[in-house]
């Protein structure tokens, strides 16, 4: 529910429920990751199946990754 609300409010996504469900359904295996930030401040990690690891097959593309990083920033 928090993911849905964040997506809807911060990203102005009209179908936040669908996007949140898709992200969670497609989420791969999990485990410990190391978080870093790019030079532009986008938070990324080294998780082998993470949408926020730019080196994986399922990584979010540039602008999408930046928007998600901003929406989920502490």
27 CB contacts (<8 Å, ≥6 apart)?
49, 51
For residue range 21-72, list pLDDT tens digits in order: 666 666 666 678 899 999 999 999 998 888 889 998 888 887 889 988 888 8
Per-residue tokens: 21:
């469900």
pTM exceeding 0.85: no
What residue segments make up the domains of the chain, in order of their start? 2-71
State which H helix or E strand residue 43 sits in. Answer: strand 43-45
- Alpha-carbon Rg for the chain, nearest whole angstrom, is 12
- Output phi, psi for 37, to 5 deg: -125, 145
In this structure, the number of other CB atoms found within 10 A of the CB of residue 52 comes to 20
């Amino acid at each position: 529910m928090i993911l849905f609300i964040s997506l809807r409010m911060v990203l102005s996504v009209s179908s936040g429920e669908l996007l949140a469900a898709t992200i969670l359904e497609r989420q791969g295996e999990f485990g410990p990751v190391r978080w870093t930030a790019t030079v532009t401040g986008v938070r990324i990690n080294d998780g082998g199946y993470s949408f926020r690891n730019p080196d994986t097959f399922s990584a979010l593309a540039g602008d999408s990754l930046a928007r998600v990083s901003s929406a989920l920033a502490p």
